[in-house]
Structure 1
Amino acid sequence: MNALDRVLVAAAVAISPAAHRETRREQWAADVQGAAELDLSPTALAFGAFTTALFHRRADRRTTWGTTMTAVPLDVRPEPHRVRTVPVLVAVAIASLLASGVWLLLQQNAGSATQRVVGMLAGQALVHVVPGVAVAVAVLLLRATAPRRRIGASMVLAATVVMVLVPSLPVTGPIPFEFSLLLTLVPLVGWFVATSTPWAAWSFAVLPMVLVSAEHTGALWTLLPAQWNSILFGVPYLALILAGFLGSRFSTDRSRRFVVPEGALVDKSV
């Protein structure tokens, strides 16, 4: 259990009802420490503990976030842990992209140089940083093999860093179409690798490719009046998320069986 896992478990315990803190501290720490034996991500389980405590702290029923590893053997779909942190992170990415359109639209009235710099930095954060980091963390929390998760998250983060740095590069003229297309597809490939998406389903990459092409040719900007064009900046990235979702529905991973680890703990007190 690394430092991040310990912080997450400690935070989960801290926000739990006082009557259950001691029990949860022992149980969650034991489950996270034993995650590697079941080929699970300790960080994913630590996030599961945190989100369970956050969203179910008043529940008068048994918590269920860890039953896939502590209950009797059963078939489990290759999806994230019971508390669905991954969809929440993807929703954060989508919300950030939608907010970026409104933010960039408001920046048309920026007067001073300071306002323009702040507007540009905040726009970069909403369009690239927040979605990129959210999706990268989501990839790390997928129920997939560790190499697939790491490769996928690395590709998403690499594309995010390059996208953020491109505006500051000493390059004149528009960004080449091939480069824009590559930056758009790299995170999608990372997601497909992490979710074991079959080759046939990679065809969903056509969706963001079409929109990047429309952006490069200017066809995308004809959809709305010129003063509203800022709303469309995040559209190719929204198509990227949609393509990733559709492709991962065809994942080739099979359900896995988990055996009961000796001494496994379940919080039965709530």
Structure 2
Amino acid sequence: MSALDRLLIAAAVAASPPEQRAARHEQWLADVRDAHELDLSPTALALGALTTVLFHRRAGHRSTWGDTMTTMPGTVRSTPHTIPTIPVLLTLAVVSFLAGSVGLGLVQRYNGLAGIVPAFLLISIVLTVVPGLAVAASVLLVTGAPIRRRATGALVVLAVTALWWSIQTGFFNPPVHPALSLGIITGAWLAVWLVVLRRPGWTWSLLLLPVLASVLVFPLSTGVYGTQLAFSLKAAVSSATALVPFLAALLAATIAGRLSTDAPAGPVQRPDALAGSSA
């Protein structure tokens, strides 16, 4: 059990009703500790515990998530799962990207001032790192793939995210046209998704969607500076247009899932990634 797993469990227990904390702490620690024996991700289970508490905390109710993990099949009443964790994570990525775009627009007028550097670095994290973490977590939580492949895919997503952050902050200047940069980044994320879920070969053609979207919106992202808008608004709009390739990658992933004859429709997640309903 990693330190991250313990931190997630501690946060879940802290957010639980006081009278249930002791039982949940013992139950969830046992579930996460024994996750590998069931070929499950300990981190996914710990995250599931946290999302269960955050989205289903209601007075006088108790989640059955922990019980269903350690009780023999058939002895616990099956309960429906209602929190689609992966869509929530991807929505978080979109919202974080938009928030980072607005923040970047607000600080652009102060570009070059030493005092703005910490704020710029923080905004760059919101703009790039948070969406990347959300995508990596989504890769970890999908079903239909062994944990090793999902973990490797998540690490690749994080590596691509680090590359994107270094480009955004100016630490790295890629040897490609600026119009292609974000298309390649989002295309790489999409490629990881296709590999982890082993989508059919024809779906690789969908990698062109985020690249084409990046090329098409590039003139808009640069041309907005020629308008009469306030400079901060220009910068915010220019940054926000970079969201289009990301949305194109999401569309491509959805198409790949729905049109693959051997794959379920839409993004699918592990049962342990879904928050259990309250009993």
8 Å contact kept, 1:65–1:82: no
Shift of 1:180: 5.5
8 Å contact kept, 1:188–1:205: yes
- In structure 1, the gaps of 5 or more residues are 255-266
Query: For the residues of structure 2 that align with 1:248 and 1:161, how far apart are their CA atoms?
Result: 27
Letter in 2 for 1:158: A
- The corresponding residue for 1:36 is 36
Letter in 2 for 1:163: W
Query: For the residues of structure 1 that align with 2:188 and 2:170, how far apart are their CA atoms?
Result: 21
Q: Does structure 1 residue 235 correspond to structure 2 residue 244?
A: yes
Query: For the residues of structure 1 that align with 2:55 and 2:125, how far apart are their CA atoms?
Result: 27
8 Å contact kept, 1:16–1:53: yes
- The corresponding residue for 2:148 is 147
Letter in 2 for 1:35: A
Shift of 1:208: 0.7
- The corresponding residue for 2:4 is 4
Shift of 1:209: 1.5
Aligned-pair Cα RMSD in Å: 3.6
**Does the C-alpha gap of structure 1 residues 20 and 250 become closer, same or farther in structure 2, counting only changes over 3 Å?**
farther
8 Å contact kept, 1:48–1:83: no
SS at match of 2:199: coil
Q: Which of 181, 184, 187 matches 1:185?
A: 187
Query: For the residues of structure 2 that align with 1:28 and 1:146, how far apart are their CA atoms?
Result: 19
Letter in 1 for 2:251: L
Query: For the residues of structure 1 that align with 2:70 and 2:248, how far apart are their CA atoms?
Result: 35
Q: TM-score scaled by structure 1? A: 0.75
Shift of 1:96: 1.1
Shift of 1:57: 2.6
8 Å contact kept, 1:97–1:238: no
Query: For the residues of structure 1 that align with 2:39 and 2:192, how far apart are their CA atoms?
Result: 20
- The corresponding residue for 2:170 is 168
Letter in 2 for 1:164: W
Count of aligned positions:
251
**Does the C-alpha gap of structure 1 residues 220 and 178 become closer, same or farther in structure 2, counting only changes over 3 Å?**
closer
8 Å contact kept, 1:35–1:41: yes
Query: For the residues of structure 2 that align with 1:111 and 1:223, how far apart are their CA atoms?
Result: 18
Shift of 1:131: 0.7
Letter in 2 for 1:206: L
- In structure 2, the gaps of 5 or more residues are 265-275
Q: TM-score scaled by structure 2? A: 0.73
